[in-house]
Chain A
Amino acid sequence: MTNIGSDLPRADGWDKVAGKSQYTVDYSESGMLHGCVLRSPVVCGRIVRVDVEAARSMPGVRAVVTATNVGNGRAGMLVRDQTLFADREIRHHGEAIAAVAADTLAQARAARDAIELEAESLPALTTMAQALASDAPLVHPDWESYALNPMAAELRRQGNVAGELIADPDGVDEAFERAHLVVEDEFCVDRQYQAYLEPMSAVARFTDGRCIVRTGSQFPYNIREELAAYLDVRLSDVRVIGQTVGGGFGAKLGCGTEGYAAVLSRAVGGRSVRVVKTRDEDIVTAPVRENAELRIRTALDAEGNMTAREFSCDMDCGAYGLETPTFPSILFHFAAGIYRIGPVRVHARAVYTNTPPTGAFRGVNGPAVYFAVERHMDNIARRLNEDPMAFRARHMLRDGDTLLNGQALADAHIAREACEAVQKSLPAVGARQSGDRLRGVGSATGFWVTNPLPGSVTITVGEDGRLHVLTGANDNGSGAVAMGLTQIVAEAMGVSTGEVIVGLPDTDLSGYDSGSQGSRTTHIVGKAALIAIDDLKTRIFDVARQMLPPGANELELVGGMVRAVGIGDAQVPLAAVFQMANFSNVSLSGSGTYATTPPAFTPGCAVGLTMPSLLTPTYHAHRAEVEVDSVTGNVRLLRYVVAQEVGRAINPDGIMGQIQGGIAQGIGFTLTENLRLVDGRYLERSLEAYRLPLAQDLPRVEVVLLEHPDSEGPFGAKGVAEPPLVFAPAAIANAVSDAVGKPFYKLPITPEDVLFALDT
Chain B
Amino acid sequence: MQQLTFEVNGRREVVAVDVGETLLDCLRERLHLTGAKDGCREGECGACTVLVDGQPVDACLYPALACEGVSVRTVEGIGTPSEPSDLQKAIVEHAGLQCGFCTPGIVVVLTALLEAVPNPGRANIQTALAGNLCRCTGYAQIEDAVLSLASGAKDGL
Binding site for B on A (CB under 8 A): 7, 9-10, 12-23, 25-26, 194-199, 244-249, 278-279, 476-479, 651, 653-654, 656-657, 660-665, 686-688, 692-696, 698, 700-701
Q: Cβ of A695: which chain B residues have Cβ within 8 Å of it?
A: 125-126, 129-130, 139, 142-143
A651 CB, min distance to chain B CBs, angstroms: 8
Contact partner of A18 (CB less than 8 A), chosen from B79, B138, B142, is B79
Q: How far is the CA of A477 from the CA of B100 in the complex (A)?
A: 7
18 contacts between A and B (CB under 8 A): A12-B100, A17-B79, A18-B35, A19-B104, A20-B76, A20-B81, A26-B34, A245-B99, A278-B41, A279-B39, A656-B141, A657-B138, A661-B98, A661-B138, A665-B138, A694-B133, A698-B140, A700-B143
Q: Cβ of B23: which chain A residues have Cβ within 8 Å of it?
A: none
A665 CB, min distance to chain B CBs, angstroms: 7
Instruction: Assess whether A654 is in contact with B40, with CB atoms less than 8 Å apart.
Output: no
Instruction: Assess whether B44 is in contact with A686, with CB atoms less than 8 Å apart.
Output: yes
Is B95 an interface position by the 8 A CB rule?
yes
For the complex of A and B, the 10 pairs showing the least CB-CB separation, nearest first, are A19-B35, A477-B99, A16-B100, A664-B138, A246-B101, A19-B75, A660-B138, A13-B92, A687-B44, A14-B81
Is B51 an interface position by the 8 A CB rule?
no
Instruction: Assess whether B93 is in contact with A700, with CB atoms less than 8 Å apart.
Output: no
**Chain B residue with Cβ nearest A652:** B95
Contact partner of B99 (CB less than 8 A), chosen from A18, A476, A656, is A476
Interface of B is mostly: loop
**Chain B residue with Cβ nearest A688:** B44
Say yes or no: A23-B101 contact (C-beta < 8 A), given A196-B135, A477-B136.
yes
Instruction: Assess whether A15 is in contact with B99, with CB atoms less than 8 Å apart.
Output: no
Q: Using a Cβ–Cβ cut-off of 8 Å, how many residues does chain B contribute to the interface with A?
A: 54
Instruction: Assess whether B99 is in contact with A653, with CB atoms less than 8 Å apart.
Output: no
B113 CB, min distance to chain A CBs, angstroms: 12
Q: Cβ of B101: which chain A residues have Cβ within 8 Å of it?
A: 23, 196-198, 246-247
Contact partner of B40 (CB less than 8 A), chosen from A13, A194, A279, A476, is A279
Q: How far is the CA of A198 from the CA of B98 in the complex (A)?
A: 13
Q: Cβ of A194: which chain B residues have Cβ within 8 Å of it?
A: 135
Instruction: Assess whether A701 is in contact with B79, with CB atoms less than 8 Å apart.
Output: no
Q: How far is the CA of A692 from the CA of B130 in the complex (A)?
A: 11
**Chain A residue with Cβ nearest B137:** A661
Instruction: Assess whether A657 is in contact with B141, with CB atoms less than 8 Å apart.
Output: yes
Q: Cβ of A247: which chain B residues have Cβ within 8 Å of it?
A: 98-99, 101, 135-136
Q: How far is the CA of A15 from the CA of B79 in the complex (A)?
A: 10
Instruction: Assess whether A21 is in contact with B98, with CB atoms less than 8 Å apart.
Output: no
Within 59-118 of B, Cβ neighbours of A (below 8 Å) are at 74-76, 78-82, 84, 88, 91-95, 97-104, 107
B50 CB, min distance to chain A CBs, angstroms: 10
Q: Cβ of B38: which chain A residues have Cβ within 8 Å of it?
A: 25, 199
Q: How far is the CA of A196 from the CA of B134 in the complex (A)?
A: 8
Q: Cβ of B33: which chain A residues have Cβ within 8 Å of it?
A: 19
Instruction: Assess whether B75 is in contact with A18, with CB atoms less than 8 Å apart.
Output: yes
Q: Cβ of A476: which chain B residues have Cβ within 8 Å of it?
A: 99
Contact partner of B107 (CB less than 8 A), chosen from A17, A197, A244, A665, is A17
B64 CB, min distance to chain A CBs, angstroms: 15
Q: Cβ of B26: which chain A residues have Cβ within 8 Å of it?
A: none
Q: How far is the CA of A698 from the CA of B42 in the complex (A)?
A: 24
A21 CB, min distance to chain B CBs, angstroms: 5
Q: Which of A7, A20, A245, A663 has the most CB of B within 10 A?
A: A20
Q: How far is the CA of A245 from the CA of B74 in the complex (A)?
A: 22
Instruction: Assess whether A687 is in contact with B99, with CB atoms less than 8 Å apart.
Output: no
Instruction: Assess whether A21 is in contact with B135, with CB atoms less than 8 Å apart.
Output: no
Instruction: Assess whether B95 is in contact with A17, with CB atoms less than 8 Å apart.
Output: no
Instruction: Assess whether B98 is in contact with A687, with CB atoms less than 8 Å apart.
Output: no
Is B45 an interface position by the 8 A CB rule?
yes
Q: How far is the CA of A17 from the CA of B123 in the complex (A)?
A: 23
Q: Which of B37, B92, B98 has the most CB of A within 10 A?
A: B98
A299 CB, min distance to chain B CBs, angstroms: 40
Q: How far is the CA of A246 from the CA of B126 in the complex (A)?
A: 22
Q: Cβ of B94: which chain A residues have Cβ within 8 Å of it?
A: 653
Is B47 an interface position by the 8 A CB rule?
yes
Q: Cβ of A660: which chain B residues have Cβ within 8 Å of it?
A: 137-141
B146 CB, min distance to chain A CBs, angstroms: 11
Q: Cβ of B100: which chain A residues have Cβ within 8 Å of it?
A: 12-13, 15-17, 21, 244, 246, 477
Instruction: Assess whether A197 is in contact with B140, with CB atoms less than 8 Å apart.
Output: no
The 8 A CB mask of B22-38 against A (1 = contact, 0 = none) is 00000000000111111
**Chain B residue with Cβ nearest A651:** B95
Instruction: Assess whether B133 is in contact with A197, with CB atoms less than 8 Å apart.
Output: yes
Q: How far is the CA of A663 from the CA of B141 in the complex (A)?
A: 14
Say yes or no: A664-B95 contact (C-beta < 8 A), given A19-B76, A196-B101, A687-B44.
no
Q: How far is the CA of A13 from the CA of B79 in the complex (A)?
A: 13
**Chain A residue with Cβ nearest B145:** A17
Q: How far is the CA of A197 from the CA of B100 in the complex (A)?
A: 9
Instruction: Assess whether B140 is in contact with A20, with CB atoms less than 8 Å apart.
Output: no
Is B127 an interface position by the 8 A CB rule?
yes
**Chain A residue with Cβ nearest B127:** A696
Q: Cβ of B91: which chain A residues have Cβ within 8 Å of it?
A: 13, 17
